Structure 1
Amino acid sequence: MNKNIKLGEINTLKINRASEPGLYLISQDETEVLLPNVYIKQGMSLGQEIEVFIYTDSEDRLVATTLTPKAMINEIQYLEVVDTAKFGAFVDIGLPKDILVPINKQKSTFKVGEKRLVKIIEDEKSHRLIGTEKFIKNFNRNTKNFKRNDEVNIIIYQKTPLGFKVVINEEYEGMIFHSEIFTKVNIGDKKVAYIKTVREDGKLDLSLQKIGEEKSLDDVNKVIDVLKNNNNILNVTSKSDAENIINLFGMSKKRFKAVLNTLVTTNQVHIEDNSIRLHH
């Protein structure tokens, strides 16, 4: 159990006492925090340890909830703008209290209804949870421990002429070049990706597919599955349009040719004039 109550995180706290507004939870250092009645679940009892998320109420008091927010402290998430004011804008974090993104933490003016990529942080002065768009400059550049084909979690945050910029594992910056993308992607998407190149400037180049032999079996199975879903025949060959191949199989024409050769060699697929057929 945590010794101290940690803002913006899931805490494991003990139910200490009941009161009119709710249950008071206590940490090991005997700090108390209220779990309002609205979050009390059947079966909760004094002395029981429960997991709660800690944030602050409208009067800046610590408060607990059994709800899980869309983002916790130091996490980056695509969040909807629900209100604006002269001093900033509010984004929906999945809690009764929306999160403020102050004017000086915005890269451009927020508009109600749009979604923005925001990092949740603790404001140094007020000690409230706030959001910031200006997390780019704080990326970790110590990427020497990454290796080719390491699996990572990414959030896509910006489209450029070269490709899409992404946040990797909440703290590193990376790029997926357009030539590496064989499926539809959007700003705010969360995906699994693979390290392709560790650059000297601390940035990382990525692929949405495993690189080299490791992905060959996955791609073979993908082509077979698509064929099975289309009555075992498709009007496509290695000479087909590259965009058509990408739309059907989510892989490059070059990769599809290699997979098709494997399927023909292993007698799983037969090539006809303008189509491929799966052997029974």
Structure 2
Amino acid sequence: MQTELPLGSIVTMKVLRKIDTGYVLTAFGEEALLHNKETEEQLEIDQEVDVFLYTDKQGKIISSARLPFITVGIYDWAEVVGVIPRLGVFVSIGIVKDILVSKDDLPLYRDTWPKSGDRLFITLKVDKKGRLLAVPAEEDIIANEVFAAPENIIHDKVRGTIYHTEKEGAALLTTEGYRGFIHHTERKEEPRVGQVVEGRVIAVKEDGSINISLRPLKQDSLDEDADLILKHLKDNHGTIPFHDKSEPEEIRATFQISKAAFKRALGRLLKEGKVKQENGQTILLE
């Protein structure tokens, strides 16, 4: 769609005429509909009004006097209000219409897509077909939004929102404005993009970013890991093909914990007489 009107932006337009459903506005020699539901005031012919421009499902240019907090080139957090697997997710930017974040701009695996209520740090763009889309911020934009973390926050608890996730780990922005990274070994499951997580700082890097762990401290996780092994035993008729010499990769794939954590928890269960090891297996004694 060819138009001189800057879709996804806020512009000043003049009221050309009134119609039953609202108003027809004009600027740059083009027209746009302002529906009654998109304005809270009565307008007069030739009155100038600031509006946000977008397109409807038929590709017609629509204006809104309800100005959004995100426009083309302006980034902010937007709440996810719907998920359609074949398309992507929809976010609210403060107007009647919800804006699509294409599945092409979301993680490959659906399990890590955001859910309704999650938040994404986005801006708007107009694609080659003239459609207005929301797009997540890339790393260079994130770099301009963050602050350097002080060195004295190691071991402090932090809360933040995931903005990128992959096999190696997940990146987040904390409420303090720090960029954080969660290595895959420091979590039990991969978080969603847009999910709010809480963890503890385990390192402050030279560039001011921080490394975060979602796992509890060793002394706190021992009971949890032991219970995890017991549950796995009960779910598998009291016998599992794991022992203190099992491969680390096999342990992590099954229990999402390190071999060291597995050995500590297994050692406790052995000491308490709840399990035994025999022929390369761990057997429940309860």
TM-score, normalised to structure 2's length? 0.54
Q: How far off its partner does 1:132 sit?
A: 5.2
Aligned AA for 1:114? Answer: D
Checking the alignment, whether the CA contact within 8 Å between 1:78 and 1:115 is kept in structure 2 is: no
The reply on whether 1:241 has 2:244 as its aligned counterpart is no
Q: How far off its partner does 1:234 sit?
A: 0.6
Higher alpha-carbon deviation: 193-202 or 55-64: 55-64
Map of 1:266 onto structure 2: 272
Checking the alignment, whether the CA contact within 8 Å between 1:81 and 1:91 is kept in structure 2 is: yes
Checking the alignment, whether the CA contact within 8 Å between 1:234 and 1:276 is kept in structure 2 is: yes
Which consecutive segments of 4 or more residues in structure 1 shift more than 4 A? 55-58, 75-82, 129-132, 181-184
Give runs of aligned pairs for residues 172-183 of structure 1, distance below 5 A. Answer: 172-178=178-184, 180-181=185-186, 183=188
Cα distance change, pair 216–59 in 1 and its aligned pair in 2 (3 A): same
Checking the alignment, whether the CA contact within 8 Å between 1:77 and 1:119 is kept in structure 2 is: no
The reply on whether 1:157 has 2:164 as its aligned counterpart is yes
**RMSD over equivalenced CA pairs, Å:** 4.5
Give distance in 2, aligned partners of 1:133 and 1:80: 19
User: 5+ unaligned residues in a row in structure 1: which ranges?
Assistant: 1-20, 22-33, 37-54, 65-71, 83-89, 102-111, 123-128
Checking the alignment, whether the CA contact within 8 Å between 1:79 and 1:115 is kept in structure 2 is: no
Map of 1:93 onto structure 2: 91
Q: Percent identity?
A: 20
Q: How far off its partner does 1:263 sit?
A: 0.9
Q: How far off its partner does 1:252 sit?
A: 0.8
Cα distance change, pair 97–252 in 1 and its aligned pair in 2 (3 A): same
Aligned AA for 1:98? Answer: D
Q: 2:104 aligns with which of 83, 93, 114?
A: 114
The reply on whether 1:139 has 2:118 as its aligned counterpart is no
Q: Deviations over 1:61-87 (max 9, x none)?
A: 2399xxxxxxx95358799899xxxxx
Cα distance change, pair 154–262 in 1 and its aligned pair in 2 (3 A): farther
The reply on whether 1:205 has 2:211 as its aligned counterpart is yes
Q: How far off its partner does 1:113 sit?
A: 3.5
SS in 2 for 1:74: strand
Map of 1:49 onto structure 2: none
Checking the alignment, whether the CA contact within 8 Å between 2:78 and 2:91 is kept in structure 1 is: no
Rg (Cα) greater in structure: 2
* Residue correspondences, number: 200
Give distance in 2, aligned partners of 1:63 and 1:278: 63
Q: How far off its partner does 1:167 sit?
A: 0.9
SS in 2 for 1:240: coil
Cα distance change, pair 35–216 in 1 and its aligned pair in 2 (3 A): farther
